[in-house]
Amino acid sequence: MTLRRPDLSQPLMLLVAALLVLMIVLPMGWLVVYSFSDKAGNPTLENFVRLFTDPDFLDPLITTLIIAFSTSAACCVVAAPLGWLVARTDMPLARTFRVLVMASLVTPPFVGAIAWEMLAAPNSGLLNQLWRAVTGAPSDEALFDIYTLTGLIFTIACYTFPYVFILVANSLDRMPGELEDASSMLGAGTWTTARRITIPLAMPTLLAGALIAFLQALNTFGSPAILAIPAGFHTLTTKIWSLFEFPPKVELAAASSLPLLVLTIVLLRVQLLVLGRRGYAVLGGKYGAPRLIRLGKWRIPVATAAMLVLSLPLFLPYAALLNTAFSPVSSQLVTPATFTLRNFYFTFTELSSTMPALKNTLILAALSATLGGLLALLISYIVARQAIRGWKVLGFLATAPLAIPGIVLGVGLFLAYTRPPLTLYGTIWILLIAFITIELPAAYQQFRSAFHAVHPELEEAGRMLGATRLRTLWDITGPLLRASVVATWCFVFVGVIRELSAAVILFTSETKVVAVLIFDLKESGDVGAIAVLSLTIVAITTVVIVIASRLSIGRDAVRLRTIAGG
């Protein structure tokens, strides 16, 4: 395909490139500049010396690595067998299980962490109370203590394992059954086939999943802020955030952000190498649906065990949130006598931040989904059709934010936009930029694979009949991509509602979003209002997703989330 008259392409390209520079290059540039500056702005390496020698920084760094490794391992150990059970066996309720895993992804991780506090705080946690009631253990003994490193790793893993699970299950779905059939025809038993064929084929995906889990745990902010600080330790993300306390030490914050950035970039390169090998699994032309392994008498016990695993990210936390929402004291099980709507009354009529925060959140989510979706669509079109010179750069920039942890992006945007000429700090726009940037890679990847499916000939036809490129995009390509558009919109919408780490750096009192409000309420211990707000945003998210899936998306959303893993 050759370039015809340059209708709107060139200016558009420049616009897109300029936008990406403002969103990504400028903040990251300032981040690097600040990390090599002292308070007065003179160049120095002092920040990094401090970072790697002062225990105040070294300890969080090490803790963060421990958390990331453990989370990654735990996620794989749990997600791999579950993915296999769902994709490759006749386990009952497999479809329901997949839907429920998706549902656990809608839960913002910091809400999950707060819910787990209600469940497993050593004394007031509902599970510990239950355990003491059943065993008669003394009042100062606890089965679980969520305020520990283990507790934190557990909580992060609860909301990270779905990513690994979806990757593994999808990959096993696509794996040709013939290879396994051949193996058993050659006389191998079920176990040998699994060991020699299925596991090696699934290995690259599992490794990719492990990396995604590692990155998620590395860069997460909400759960450590809620669980680590009461326990008396910092992770790197909470440390960065604490550096914004007055007097703000942005140079140190910038320097502390760089290891996260560098590590993420390195790991993403590794992931690319690993995923690159996945190709061989799907060689072999047409292949049949995989044969399901019969579990026989194990069907019911296995399904029960799987559902028990899901109770950890899903059933138990929501039970705790519901209990707190209707209860005067969160540590007591609600009874008909104590049932109260007081928390709802307080949240919706007294708490003056509720409505502005809900409004900000929904506006930002809808705007990010719409504008971010458009931007991603545009970039993926340019890249897929190699429409303009320099398309490679655009593709790179659109994927780059994958390597930028939310809190690091927050710091970068803060540094870039608290100064002229673009003083965006304090406006809703800086949050919009943050959210679009964070969600851009996932949206872009989704559209890219969608464009691969639409043959350029259809567009050529439109162009030959005299339509401009944009017109063709609108009339021909657009309708063909509808499912992807809706799925991407939903995905970004959900992502924005879950986002805390960049927002917590960038908000002002006027631009507070629900995630930040929940975090605020957490610090003052107002768990009743937290439960009500959390249930509200999860309900809104669910309604949006249901409506959107009515608009014909189906399983695309599932695949989409997988892409978003990083």
Binding mask 441-480 for another protein (x = CB under 8 A): ----------------------------------------
Instruction: Decide whether 92 or 356 has the Cβ nearer to another protein.
Output: 356
- Indicate the Cα dihedral angle 371, 373, 377, 383, nearest 10°: 100
For another protein, give the closer residue by CB, 254 or 481.
Answer: 254
Structure tokens at 114: 């707060």
| Nearest-approach distance from CB 323 to another protein, in angstroms | 12
Radius of gyration of the chain (CA): 25
The nearest distance, CB 411 to another protein, in angstroms, is 13
Alpha-carbon gap, residue 92 to 101, rounded angstroms: 15
C-beta separation of 81 from 75 below 8 A: no
| Of residues 1 and 329, the one with the C-beta less far from another protein | 329
Binding part of the chain for another protein, among 19-27, 267-275, 351-359, 366-374 by CB under 8 A, reads: 351-359
DSSP 3-state assignment of 89?
A: strand
Among 246, 336, 337, 464, binds another protein (CB under 8 A): 246
Residue choice 527, 531, 535, 537 for contact with another protein (CB under 8 A): 527
Residue 33 Cβ vs another protein, minimum distance, rounded to whole Å: 18
Residues with Cβ < 8 Å from 77, sequence gap 6 or more?
none
DSSP 14-75: HHHHHHHIIIIIHHHHHHHHHHTB-TTS-B-SHHHHHHHH-HHHHHHHHHHHHHHHHHHHHH
Q: Is 453 helix (H, G, I), strand (E, B) or coil?
A: helix
Answer yes or no whether residue 140 interacts with another protein by CB under 8 A.
yes
Q: Which is nearer to another protein, 140 or 457 (CB)?
A: 140
**502 near 406, Cβ under 8 Å?**
yes
The residue count for binding another protein (CB under 8 A) is: 46
* Residue 293 backbone phi and psi in degrees, to 5: -80, 135
CB of 26 vs another protein, minimal distance in Å: 17
Find the shortest distance in angstroms from Cβ 245 to another protein: 6
Residues 215-234 that bind another protein (CB under 8 A): 228-234
Using the rule CB under 8 A, give the single segment among 243-251, 255-263, 277-285, 390-398 that binds another protein.
243-251
Backbone angles phi, psi at 277, to 5 degrees: -80, -15
Q: Is 98 in the site for another protein (CB under 8 A)?
A: no
Q: What is the Cα–Cα distance from 321 to 329, expressed in whole angstroms?
A: 12
Can you tell me which of 116, 147, 214, 444 binds another protein, judged by CB under 8 A? 147
By C-beta, is 285 or 525 nearer to another protein?
Answer: 525
- Integer Cα distance of 331 and 315 in angstroms: 17
φ, ψ (nearest 5 deg) of residue 37 = -120, 155
* Residue choice 44, 148, 184, 242 for contact with another protein (CB under 8 A): 242
> Which residue's CB is nearer to another protein, number 56 or number 475?
56
For residue 315, give every residue at least 6 positions away whose Cβ sits within 8 Å of its Cβ, in sequence order, or none: none
Smaller CB separation from another protein, 257 or 353? 353
- Tokens describing residue 387: 């429409």
Three-state DSSP at 486 gives: helix
Alpha-carbon gap, residue 401 to 22, rounded angstroms: 13
Give the contact letters, 105-134, x = binds to another protein (CB under 8 A), - = no. ----------------xxxx----------
Nearest-approach distance from CB 389 to another protein, in angstroms: 39
User: Shortest approach of another protein to residue 143 CB, angstroms?
Assistant: 15
Kindly tell me the sign of the dihedral angle through the C-alpha atoms of 119, 123, 128, 134. Answer: negative
Q: Cβ 403 to another protein, closest distance in Å? A: 27
Asked if 358 touches another protein (CB under 8 A), the answer is no
- Binding to another protein in span 321-350, by CB under 8 A: 329-331, 346, 350
CB neighbours of residue 266 within 10 Å? 11
Among 134, 136, 185, 245, binds another protein (CB under 8 A): 245
Residues 6+ apart with CB under 8 A from 134: none
The encoded tokens of residue 288 equal 């049949």
Interface residue list for another protein (CB under 8 A): 56, 59, 121-124, 139-140, 147, 228-234, 242, 244-248, 329-331, 346, 350-353, 356, 418, 423, 425-426, 508-510, 520-521, 523-527, 529
